[in-house]
């Protein structure tokens, strides 16, 4: 009799356990679903990109152009303090992460950098006085006018044409010690900005080549810094003007020592 009375109790307990188990499964305390995927952080510069901001804190003569990748930017501002990285007034560019060559040029300013663009990051580049960069070297092909005597009396106005790896004298002013057809320059190395410069004594003899450094102010203005001293030149032609050679010393064409152009005699 007691066993029969226990059946309803046992049944009720069994049913309660089954219901609790089913409810546990439904509520997630048993089998759980994976958590929803987290939303990735948003890159405000675009997937895989970063940003560079260029600025200076001193004035630089002439317009300043900044070349990077296939882009050319123009900077006209002088900052008293470093700009905020995302300032709308600062000259900036967004690029895919990687290393880029940067070339910055003003009227008398030249500087080169290797800049690293990092994903998600904005980086400031202060190019004042070429800080952290190198002045670099341009190709020397063209015709160059000597704009000062330097260590050589009467040599202001000397004209040297550089092509095919050598610089030949095309015009020599009266009294200058370098005659026409002298090979004034040779062995120009654009990687380290060095050249061999011909030197002569006061009487035009004893020629020898001296190692010199080429210092560019911009692509059309340079100094030859050698053992004899510092000699300034300006590029007056970027093309082959060797056909002028026969005219220089026949009085048909004279050099314009201001360095702007070639002038016929009047």
- Map residue 222 onto helix, strand or coil: strand
Q: Which helix (H) or strand (E) holds 50?
A: strand 49-55
pLDDT score for 40:
62
Query: Which of 3.40.50.300, 2.30.42.10, 3.20.20.70, 2.60.40.1120 would CATH assign to domain 49-130?
Result: 2.60.40.1120
pLDDT > 90: percent of the chain: 53
Matching residue, tokens 């654009």: 190
Rounded CA separation 120/96 (Å):
10
Q: What is the pLDDT of residue 9?
A: 53
Q: How far is residue 142's CA from residue 238's CA, in Å, rounded to a whole number?
A: 4
Domain parsing of the chain, residue ranges: 49-130, 142-264
Q: What is the pTM (predicted TM-score) of this model? A: 0.56
- Decide if domain 142-264 falls under CATH 2.40.128: yes
CA nearest to 154, candidates 178, 179, 175: 175
* Residues 39-96: tens digit of each pLDDT: 567 899 999 999 999 999 999 887 899 999 999 999 999 999 999 988 889 999 999 9
């Amino acid at each position: 009799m007691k066993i029969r009375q226990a059946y309803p109790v046992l049944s009720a307990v069994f049913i309660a356990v089954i219901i609790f188990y089913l409810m546990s499964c439904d509520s997630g305390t048993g089998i759980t679903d994976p958590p929803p995927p987290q939303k990735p952080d948003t890159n405000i510069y675009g997937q895989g990109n970063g940003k560079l901001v260029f600025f200076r804190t001193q004035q630089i003569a002439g317009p300043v152009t900044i070349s990077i990748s296939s882009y050319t930017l123009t900077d006209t501002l002088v900052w008293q303090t470093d700009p905020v990285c995302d300032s709308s007034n600062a000259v900036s560019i967004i690029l895919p992460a990687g290393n880029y060559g940067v070339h910055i040029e003003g009227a008398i300013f030249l500087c080169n950098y290797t800049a690293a663009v990092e994903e998600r990051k904005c980086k400031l580049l202060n190019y004042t006085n070429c800080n952290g960069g190198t002045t670099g070297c341009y190709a020397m092909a063209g015709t160059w006018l000597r704009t000062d005597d330097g260590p050589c009396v009467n040599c202001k106005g000397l004209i040297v044409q550089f092509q095919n790896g050598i610089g030949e004298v095309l015009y020599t002013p009266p009294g200058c010690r370098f005659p026409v057809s002298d090979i004034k320059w040779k062995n120009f190395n654009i990687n380290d900005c060095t050249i061999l410069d011909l030197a002569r004594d006061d009487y035009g003899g004893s020629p020898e080549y001296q190692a010199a450094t080429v210092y560019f102010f911009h692509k059309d203005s340079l100094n030859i810094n050698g053992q004899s001293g510092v000699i300034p030149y300006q590029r007056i032609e970027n093309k082959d003007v060797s056909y002028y050679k026969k005219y220089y010393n026949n009085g048909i064409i004279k050099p314009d020592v201001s360095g702007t152009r070639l002038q016929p005699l009047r």
